[in-house]
Amino acid sequence: MSTYVFEPGAVPAVPVLGSSQRFPVSRVFCVGRNYEAHAREMGVSTREPPFFFTKFPSTVVPSGSRLRYPPGTKDYHYEGELVVAIGASGFEVPAARATDIIFGYATGLDMTRRDLQFAARDKGRPWDTGKNFEQSAPITAIRPLASGGALERGRIELKVNGTVRQTADIADMIWNVPEIIEHLSKLYTLAAGDLIYTGTPAGVGAVVAGDRVEVSIEGLPTLEVTIEGR
């Protein structure tokens, strides 16, 4: 007999390329303003050590999803990103050993209610309502590190309805993946099941119902989602 008041929901999980197994999601960490040009378009001209925000694991949805236009916003934005999947526990992991705890990589989107994010930012409040909401963390299947090696560079590109809106190289990140892991693992004990969305290039913008968003990163699966009405 169950000891729960109600049955818990299914564990969010992400497909793994070349395997029938799935990657169970524990926590979702995101890096803010990790490309210089994007930091400038967000009105920030200086750069400090990386900062992080989080999303619920339940915000993770697969490529091919139809994203419902979220409530409470009139400025719903895309942010194409490289995602790192953590496969082992690590605390205070030096950058030189970061790959020891990486399971693999995926293509992701950090969907954002930009007007709510900016309203919170301007008042010195947390960004949660702008960033952490249903279906806000689309992701592709994970390409294991063991099958392709560490991902250090490669073109990242986002299209809306076939038109390129974001393009850069992941080598352009201010804080690369090993450095991100070094910084984040000083604040948390990272664990198998954690996802890290590593930041977005310049060119973020709004989408509306009917738009199709496609994000590609060299060597990784392509992410595709469609925006639906409320």
State the CATH number of the domain containing residue 147: 3.90.850.10
Q: pLDDT at position 83, please?
A: 98
Look at residues 173, 136, 159, 152 and name the one whose alpha carbon lies nearest to residue 216. 159
How many domains, in total, are found in the chain? 1
The residues that bridge with 160 in the sheet, in sequence order, are 163, 213
Q: Please count the CA atoms within 13 angstroms of the CA of 104 that sit on its side-chain side.
A: 25
In a domain, 157, yes or no: yes
Q: Which domain holds residue 126?
A: 13-228
- Is the four-CA dihedral 177, 119, 125, 59 of positive or negative sign? negative
Q: What is the mean pLDDT of the chain?
A: 94
DSSP-derived secondary structure letter, 38: H
**Spatial contact of 60 and 28, defined as CB atoms under 8 Å apart:** yes
In a domain, 32, yes or no: yes
In a domain, 5, yes or no: no
Tell me the CA end-to-end span of the chain in Å, nearest whole number.
39
**Given a cut of 70, is residue 21 above it in pLDDT?**
yes
Amino acid at 96: A
In a domain, 7, yes or no: no
Joined tokens for residue 78 = 């895309």
Enter the pTM of the model.
Answer: 0.94
In a domain, 95, yes or no: yes
Residues 117-145 have pLDDT tens digits of 999 999 999 999 999 999 999 999 999 99
Residues 39-74 have pLDDT tens digits of 566 666 556 788 999 999 999 999 999 999 999 999
In a domain, 8, yes or no: no
In a domain, 2, yes or no: no
In a domain, 3, yes or no: no
Mean pLDDT value of segment 213-229: 97
Distance CA 31, CA 54 (A): 9
